[in-house]
Amino acid sequence: MANRNIQISSLTHSSTTDESIEIVERKGLGHPDSICDGIAEAVSRSLCQCYLESFGKILHHNTDEAQLVAGNSIKKFGGGKILKPIEIIVVGRATTTYQGVSIPVIDIATKATKDYLRDAIPELNLETGVKLSVKFGEGSGALQNVFGSLGNVPLSNDTSFGVGHAPFSETETIVLNVERELNTNFHMAQPAIGPDIKVMGLREHDKIQLTIAAALVDRYVNGMDHYQDILHQIHESVYELTRKYTEKDLTIFVNSADVYDDPSNINNIYLTVTGTSAEHGDDGSVGRGNRANGLITPNRSMSMEATSGKNPVNHVGKIYNLLSNDVANKIVNSFPPARIKDVSIRVLSQISAPIDQPHIADIKVVTNDGNPLTEAEKSQIFDIVDYNLDTIHTITDRVVSGELHTF
């Protein structure tokens, strides 16, 4: 194994769970920012698969610049209509010719985008509800050269950093799982709920408040009473789920911006034609939403990198964020449950250095009993970090296969 700069320290101060105020957010799959993240990542994976099938290796590309311009719609109980389609612009850099072979990157990206939208926003008519523009150029010569490797290890394309933490706090766990539950099991039972679900969690001392914005699909809602009944179903389902994770005082708000003074004015409720606010006034962009762990966590260290769409071979803005979260969880799980309270990781790259040789890997640990790590425990953590850097190529494999998620 290489001689790596891995620093491990015990912290004596409190962790996030000890703070009096904690804020956690998750943007669901149908949120305009998440739509852009999902498209960018789907295009990158499709390019990776094409490159691997055609040439046995992944070629240089980055597709992390998708933008969404909101459309316009008229909502109506029983089914409204789209007046102006959502405009999606996918731009990036990709290898279009290799060893004399032309690669149809525009066609690949177009198909990947449509396939993703078909799965993520099933109520969206791709023929009439979306205007798609895909534009790709070649990467700069310098970055394509850095895409090479030292031996079998790719060279970092940037000086950047990734961060991760584990385990999730109670509030983080709740926020993540509420959105997932509503977008899976609840949706299967109640198709009126669209995929554009935003969950904001606030823990104030021992009280948790959840504010949920859930776009309902108008063709599954027959009137105002029915609309309010579905919101009640959401409230009850979320309460039941949340009770699996906490005994704290709990308050849940669902579509709290709704106004019911005039039942005939459906513009005052969160009703949509397609299940996403992107159809009417809400734009989106890659990297403005969830971080690589699926959450937005202002109480924690965060990287501002747009993880989705970056190539999974040497773009450390992607690889180090995924690696940091993965390794943090492995460290926690390697100890008895009562030993580790919090692990935070920061991994910094240096452009053109092998990606398995970070400028520094900084690991900070808070223990449950407040006692510092022993030398044996530090050695155990060092070995975990060192091994995962030694096998960092597996991050690439897990991204391409879809095992690792970027938002």
Q: Check whether residue 121 and residue 179 sit in a common domain.
A: no
Q: Check whether residue 14 and residue 36 sit in a common domain.
A: no
Q: Check whether residue 104 and residue 247 sit in a common domain.
A: no
Question: Quick one: pLDDT at residue 142?
Answer: 46
* Alpha carbons 29 and 38: distance in angstroms, whole number: 8
In a domain, 355, yes or no: yes
DSSP one-letter string for 29-41: TTSHHHHHHHHHH
Residues 108 and 43: beta-carbon distance below 8 Å: yes
- Domain boundaries, position 203: 170-285
Residues 48 and 400: beta-carbon distance below 8 Å: yes
Residues 113 and 42: beta-carbon distance below 8 Å: yes
pLDDT tens per residue across span 335-360: 998 999 999 999 999 999 999 999 99
Q: Interior CA angle at 358 toward 355 and 363, to 5°?
A: 130
In a domain, 352, yes or no: yes
DSSP one-letter string for 168-224: PPHHHHHHHHHHHHIIIIIHHH-TTEEEEEEEEEEEETTEEEEEEEEEEEGGG--SH
Strands 193-204 and 21-27: antiparallel
Q: Check whether residue 46 and residue 107 sit in a common domain.
A: yes
In a domain, 147, yes or no: no
* Alpha carbons 375 and 389: distance in angstroms, whole number: 21
Nearest CA-CA partner of 30 in 309, 273, 311, 219 = 273
Q: Check whether residue 122 and residue 164 sit in a common domain.
A: no
In a domain, 149, yes or no: no
In a domain, 1, yes or no: no
Burial (CB count within 10 angstroms: exposed 0-12, middle 13-18, buried 19+), residue 398: middle
Q: Check whether residue 293 and residue 397 sit in a common domain.
A: yes
- Examine the fold and report which residue of 267, 285, 303 is the final residue of a domain before the chain moves on: 285
Number of domains the chain is built from: 3
Q: What is the CATH number of the domain that holds 128?
A: 3.30.300.10
Q: Check whether residue 180 and residue 260 sit in a common domain.
A: yes
In a domain, 91, yes or no: yes
**Mapping DSSP to helix (H, G, I), strand (E, B) and coil, where does residue 400 land?**
helix
SS in 3 state form for 62-86?
Answer: ECCCCEEECCEEECCCCCCEEEECE
In a domain, 369, yes or no: yes
Q: Check whether residue 55 and residue 184 sit in a common domain.
A: no
**Which helix (H) or strand (E) element contains residue 92?**
strand 86-94
Q: Check whether residue 198 and residue 281 sit in a common domain.
A: yes
In a domain, 112, yes or no: yes
Residues 179 and 407: beta-carbon distance below 8 Å: no
Rounding to the nearest 10 degrees, give the CA dihedral for residues 116, 118, 120, 123. Answer: 160
Q: Check whether residue 252 and residue 396 sit in a common domain.
A: no
Look-up of token digits 């965060």: 302
Q: Check whether residue 301 and residue 163 sit in a common domain.
A: yes
Other Cβ atoms less than 10 A from the Cβ of 281: the count is 11
Q: What is the CATH number of the domain that holds 275?
A: 3.30.300.340
Q: What is the CATH number of the domain that holds 299?
A: 3.30.300.280
Provide the token pair at 406.
Answer: 């970027």
* Bridge partner residues of 202 (DSSP): 23, 209
Digits of tens for pLDDT over the chain (407 positions)?
A: 579 999 999 988 778 999 999 999 999 999 999 999 999 999 999 999 999 999 999 999 999 999 999 999 999 999 999 999 999 999 999 999 999 999 999 999 999 999 999 999 999 999 999 999 999 988 654 455 556 555 689 999 999 999 999 999 999 999 999 999 999 999 999 999 999 999 999 999 999 999 999 999 999 999 999 999 999 999 999 999 999 999 999 999 999 999 998 877 899 999 999 999 999 989 999 999 999 999 999 999 999 999 999 999 999 999 999 999 999 999 999 999 899 999 999 999 999 999 999 999 999 999 999 999 999 999 999 999 999 999 999 999 999 999 999 99
* Alpha carbons 201 and 215: distance in angstroms, whole number: 18
- Examine the fold and report which residue of 258, 285, 312 is the final residue of a domain before the chain moves on: 285
Look-up of token digits 């739509």: 35
- Examine the fold and report which residue of 252, 285, 318 is the final residue of a domain before the chain moves on: 285
**Which helix (H) or strand (E) element contains residue 132?**
strand 130-137
Q: Check whether residue 395 and residue 310 sit in a common domain.
A: yes
